[in-house]
């Protein structure tokens, strides 16, 4: 899980509270003003150890001092106590929402999930308009395998972020101070990134629900919701290739291939624009472009535009190398085109690669077997399907193919044994 730290805007750091503060609070503020943060904390602690233990203002300024030192846990705990003692301090504390977020981020990274959730819920109660809290809660729920809860959090985060974007757009348009305008733009960019991340995760969850339901009405609803989320994310960030690729994959699942190709074309243009504008490094652009070409090539093959698909995959191969996905797709395309020798050569290359999973090796050897069968080379096909079984011995289909191959070779007793194994596995 990739987590980020959020800094408190500088404009909020030195705003002084009302002049009616106690002498102790005044002393703490003077220390902070002089950048003597540790001294401010020591003074606050000494005050809190006495009669002013329940003074929310002391807790508040203690939190301010900790925030200046980037000690997010100390800051969050201080603000949390100030809020409990005086809920009317909510507005003053709200500028320091990153303290709660960053503390929760640290807790989550350390595996302290319950504490992270509690800290995020505290942040939400004080600053309910921030989308970052629900986003991190969604990420934690997703990592825990609770997809329903994660989706709820991500959708809540999206709603908050979209409202915030509208407000920020208006504020940026009306800003006259360049410093304020720059800070607002930073908030806008961060909120846009939040929309993209929550949209990507929410869309992926809905896609997973779509793939695993047998109810057609439910499947249609999941697909429509996922597409709508991705389309709105593209409105927020028209150049995001990950979102475009996610949307294209949904179009492929619903067999809207032309729409998918259009999205891939837009993604490639967005990557080029990103390079020209300087926010995508050329080396990253090559990797991103290859990822788009990979799925675009797959789409073309699904559309039975095999030559075009292979060309896209070969271009992708120049950057990504001989990965399983690239070689498997190229080999499959040549097989469908009845270019069995070429497909065989590609799949052999794949079977010789190191580092594949057992399933990937099994699939590679199965495709080698299928090509040998088409070429009527039964002896070589037998060795290939046996190799596939070595990697995936519980695949009933492989045992049935083995039985058929034995039968063609006139080895009937072995054919019967293999078929019995296939039937036994199917019975399981």
Q: Find the largest Cα–Cα distance for the chain.
A: 101
Average pLDDT, whole number, for the chain?
Answer: 90
Cα separations in angstroms, 352 against 342, 362, 364, 383: 16, 12, 9, 15
Lookup: tokens for 218: 């439910």
- pLDDT attached to residue 4: 53
Lookup: tokens for 65: 């001092």
Q: Is the pLDDT of residue 91 over 70?
A: yes
Cα separations in angstroms, 392 against 237, 295, 364, 403: 43, 27, 11, 16
Residue percentage of the chain with pLDDT more than 90 = 71
C-alpha to C-alpha distance for 126 and 122, rounded to whole angstroms:
6
C-alpha to C-alpha distance for 163 and 159, rounded to whole angstroms:
6
Residue with tokens 């044994």: 417
- pLDDT attached to residue 6: 59
C-alpha to C-alpha distance for 76 and 59, rounded to whole angstroms:
10
At 210-246, the pLDDT tens digits run: 999 999 999 999 999 999 999 999 888 877 778 888 8
C-alpha to C-alpha distance for 117 and 130, rounded to whole angstroms:
15
At 342-352, the pLDDT tens digits run: 999 999 999 99
- pLDDT attached to residue 21: 61
- Give me Rg for the CA atoms of the chain: 30
- pLDDT attached to residue 365: 98
Among 306, 304, 366, smallest CA distance to 330 is for: 306
More confident residue, 39 or 9: 39
C-alpha to C-alpha distance for 371 and 331, rounded to whole angstroms:
10
What SS3 state is found at 235? Answer: helix
Among 122, 51, 39, smallest CA distance to 87 is for: 122
Whether 227 and 207 have beta carbons less than 8 Å apart is answered as: no
CATH class of 1-128: mainly alpha
What SS3 state is found at 57? Answer: helix
DSSP assignment of 265-285 equals HHHHHHHHHHHHHTSS-HHHH
- pLDDT attached to residue 10: 43
Cα separations in angstroms, 128 against 109, 184, 215, 330: 23, 19, 36, 50
What is the average pLDDT across 153-171?
Answer: 94
At 49-67, the pLDDT tens digits run: 988 889 999 999 999 999 9
DSSP assignment of 276-316 equals HHTSS-HHHHHHHHHHHHHHHHHHHHHTT-HHHHHHHHHHH
**Which H or E run includes 393?**
none
Provide the residue ranges of all domains of the chain, joining segments of one domain with +: 1-128
Q: Whole-prediction pTM value?
A: 0.69
**Banded pLDDT at 287 (limits 50, 70, 90):** confident
Angle in degrees, CA 57, 136, 8, rounded to 5: 40
Whether 300 and 308 have beta carbons less than 8 Å apart is answered as: yes
Q: Is the pLDDT of residue 3 over 80?
A: no
Lookup: tokens for 109: 């990274």
- pLDDT attached to residue 12: 43
Cβ–Cβ contacts within 10 Å for residue 63, how many? 27
Q: Judge residue 339's burial from the number of C-beta atoms within 10 Å of its C-beta, 0-12 exposed, 13-18 middle, 19 or more buried.
A: middle
- pLDDT attached to residue 210: 96
- pLDDT attached to residue 18: 40
Q: Is the pLDDT of residue 416 over 90?
A: yes
């Amino acid at each position: 899980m990739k987590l980020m730290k959020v800094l408190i805007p500088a404009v909020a750091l030195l705003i002084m509270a009302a002049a009616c503060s106690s002498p102790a609070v005044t002393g703490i503020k003077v220390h902070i003003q002089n950048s003597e943060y540790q001294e401010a904390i020591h003074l606050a602690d000494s005050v809190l150890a006495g009669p002013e233990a329940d003074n929310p203002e002391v807790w508040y300024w203690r939190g301010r001092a900790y925030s200046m030192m980037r000690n997010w846990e100390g800051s969050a705990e201080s603000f949390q106590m100030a809020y409990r003692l005086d809920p009317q301090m909510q507005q003053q504390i709200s500028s320091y929402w990153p303290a709660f977020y960053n503390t929760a981020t640290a807790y989550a990274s350390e595996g302290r999930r319950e504490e992270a959730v509690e800290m995020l819920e505290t942040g939400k109660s004080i600053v309910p308009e921030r989308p970052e809290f629900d986003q991190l809660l969604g990420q934690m729920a997703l990592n825990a395998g609770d997809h329903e809860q994660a989706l709820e959090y991500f959708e809540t985060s999206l709603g908050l972020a979209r409202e915030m974007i509208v407000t920020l757009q208006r504020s940026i348009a009306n800003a006259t101070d360049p410093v304020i305008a720059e800070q607002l733009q930073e908030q806008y960019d961060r909120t846009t990134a939040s929309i993209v991340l929550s949209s990507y995760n929410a869309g992926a969850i809905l896609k997973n629900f779509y793939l695993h339901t047998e109810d057609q009405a439910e499947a249609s609803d999941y697909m429509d919701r996922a597409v709508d989320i991705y389309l709105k994310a593209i409105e927020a960030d028209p150049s995001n290739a990950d979102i475009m690729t996610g949307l294209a994959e949904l179009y492929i699942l619903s067999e809207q291939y032309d729409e998918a190709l259009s999205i891939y074309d837009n993604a490639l243009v967005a990557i080029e624009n990103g390079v020209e504008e300087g926010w995508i490094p050329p080396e990253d652009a090559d990797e991103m472009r290859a990822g788009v070409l990979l799925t675009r090539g797959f789409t073309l093959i699904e559309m039975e535009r095999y030559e075009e698909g292979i060309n896209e995959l070969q271009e992708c191969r120049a950057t990504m190398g001989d990965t399983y996905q690239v070689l498997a797709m190229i080999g499959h395309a040549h097989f469908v085109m009845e270019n069995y020798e070429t497909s065989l050569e590609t799949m052999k290359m794949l079977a010789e690669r190191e580092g594949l999973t057992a399933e990937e090796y099994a699939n590679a050897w199965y495709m080698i077997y299928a090509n040998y069968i088409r070429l009527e080379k039964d002896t070589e096909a037998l060795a290939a399907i046996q190799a596939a079984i070595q990697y995936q011995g519980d695949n009933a289909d492989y045992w049935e193919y083995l039985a058929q191959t034995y039968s063609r070779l006139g080895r009937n007793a072995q054919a019967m044994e293999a078929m019995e194994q296939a039937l036994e596995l199917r019975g399981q």
